[in-house]
Structure 1
């Protein structure tokens, strides 16, 4: 059944008993399990809840605070060449002005962590979105995938903001990369959701060798994805502040999970043909959502960066990365 993703995400965060461990505190596997289950339920909803949980982890990591009761946070950190948001200090307070595109939950979020330019430096700010200086704008999203995430542009007109850490603090920490692995856990949950159509149909196709071949491959892919996340969680908990290891681990996990998600979509489509895509609305939406969501990966550029990390990493022998 299709859901109102923003409304459900808000209810889960503000009215439910959502209790998700912070990464690197010993229960990272449980955090990844919850993120996976949220996107297995609904990919767009899970993506919105993940952003709130990421904001909570960023605040805890940088300033030792947590999100408040009844609040629903976004993390708006896209940095295209233009438009941009600038930060200036006036009469002892920081103010943001400009436009920030690619803001998911632009209507439903009550607060957001927003990156802005402070001179030639990038800095993160916490913003109460319910003030007059913030205007959310919908529109421009023509894709079927992730269409219910309320992704739009936030416009700031001298909106009051609070700096979160020093310039560069958002990126210069292991937690930034732990958050990237959390997104990969969401991709994995989306892959499981897409695969559900094949598992459901398998009982009727037991004598179809091609369907069974694809089912076997999908089942192995999902087992691989679970093993990757389990390994990542143990690695994070063993060295929560090791930024070099976290950077390389995030690149490995995100690329691997993108391949798993892509292969699952392809194999389910080839096994079942067009029927579920044209007659099962929830499945068709999940395929569209996951196809857009994994494009948060930078694809081949991420592999280039990973290759350079491998060459530069003289502290981790090859055998320890297998």
Structure 2
């Protein structure tokens, strides 16, 4: 992993270089549920600890490759479509991929069968990160009987990517805009509802949390390094700073153990049924809350200085703050509470 992390450090801010690294990593990275989930999550966390945006580039590519593999669409190298309609996404199979499943008010993407094993997409899809720089995507679209997943070549005729007015200071190199589809051919990936019902949907959600965790580890390291540097100059940390560092240590250590244990359970087949999504909600909620707490502890102790003058630290804090907003906070907790009330709990 060390060579990859070194390459990520050199490529910070260079999206084409990061996408190239993602493509390379996708050829050998473990897939969730195949016996090395912990190693996959360690990869995601480690890359994100170097640069949050780099993790944000890597995670969806690896998720797309895993989704296609789960559906039987890609071979192990992720470079060849082996379904009945390989011409549906020419040129995209060996490229950089994204996953677009978000919905938005006033926007709808619809799919219709064309009788040749492929489907035709018409409509618009919001929150498509880096769409103009990707080669292919796994996305969800509406059929008459529900939503289904499809693989599509983003360079195909009929695909147009809006340039978003991205004003955020976080993840500035990864804007998310709307993509429009006008009669674009797409390959079905699983049947209606499969994308959301498969265990891999929950596993992928936990993989995102592993990225968040990596960002928290990096902030904790920033915090520790700043206290150590101050001590070297004769300014020893006071009891409050030490208490906050101790709390940070507890949080990081507990999360690490929780993620490792959850990865083991996935590989053991314990999270392949209805309980997978409940555990994903627990993992994502626990990690998101912990990330915000670690950020708060570091910011309170380090003050405005590094936010104003330390580019790497300021970028990390802004990137991470936006990234964890993929978590739906109390709404996800409400969903978990409903599942808990129905008996989906271990206590």
Give the structure-1-normalised TM-score.
0.93
Q: Distance in 2 between matches of 1:18 and 1:280?
A: 35
- SS across alignment from 2:124: strand
Pair 1:285-2:315 in alignment: yes
* Residue of 55, 65, 73 corresponding to 2:74: 65
Report what 2:31 is aligned to: 22
Superposition RMSD in Å? 1.9
- SS across alignment from 2:131: coil
- Report if aligned partners of 2:48, 2:56 keep a CA contact under 8 Å in 1: yes
| Distance change in 2, residues 1:148/1:240 (3 Å) | farther
Pair 1:247-2:256 in alignment: no
- SS across alignment from 1:188: helix
Q: Distance in 2 between matches of 1:243 and 1:295?
A: 27
Report what 1:54 is aligned to: 63
For this pair of structures, how many residues does the alignment match?
317
| Distance change in 2, residues 1:282/1:317 (3 Å) | closer
Report what 1:86 is aligned to: 110
Q: Distance in 1 between matches of 2:159 and 2:147?
A: 20
Report what 1:77 is aligned to: 101
Quote the offset at 1:212 in angstroms: 2.0
Superposed counterparts of 1:102-181, under 5 Å: 102-181=127-206
Give the structure-2-normalised TM-score.
0.86
- Report if aligned partners of 2:113, 2:119 keep a CA contact under 8 Å in 1: yes
- Report if aligned partners of 2:157, 2:184 keep a CA contact under 8 Å in 1: yes
| Distance change in 2, residues 1:27/1:262 (3 Å) | same
* Residue of 277, 299, 310 corresponding to 2:340: 310
Pair 1:208-2:243 in alignment: no
Deviation digits for residues 185-235 of structure 1 (CA, Å, limit 9, x no counterpart):
000011112223212112134422132222222122111111111111011
Deviation digits for residues 52-91 of structure 1 (CA, Å, limit 9, x no counterpart):
1001111111225243274100000001232111112235
- Report if aligned partners of 2:26, 2:65 keep a CA contact under 8 Å in 1: no
Quote the offset at 1:13 in angstroms: 2.4
Tell me which of the two structures has the higher relative contact order, counting C-alpha pairs closer than 8 angstroms and 6 or more residues apart.
1
Pair 1:12-2:36 in alignment: no
Report what 2:88 is aligned to: none
Choose 216-225 or 293-302, whichever is displaced more: 216-225
Pair 1:195-2:220 in alignment: yes
- Report if aligned partners of 1:73, 1:110 keep a CA contact under 8 Å in 2: yes
Q: Distance in 2 between matches of 1:112 and 1:164?
A: 11
Q: Distance in 2 between matches of 1:123 and 1:18?
A: 26
- SS across alignment from 1:20: coil
* Residue of 281, 296, 301 corresponding to 1:271: 301
| Distance change in 2, residues 1:117/1:10 (3 Å) | same
Quote the offset at 1:238 in angstroms: 1.4
Q: Distance in 2 between matches of 1:232 and 1:25?
A: 14
- Report if aligned partners of 2:129, 2:174 keep a CA contact under 8 Å in 1: yes
- SS across alignment from 1:44: helix
Query: Which runs of 5 or more residues in structure 2 are unaligned?
Result: 1-8, 80-92
Q: Distance in 2 between matches of 1:16 and 1:186?
A: 15
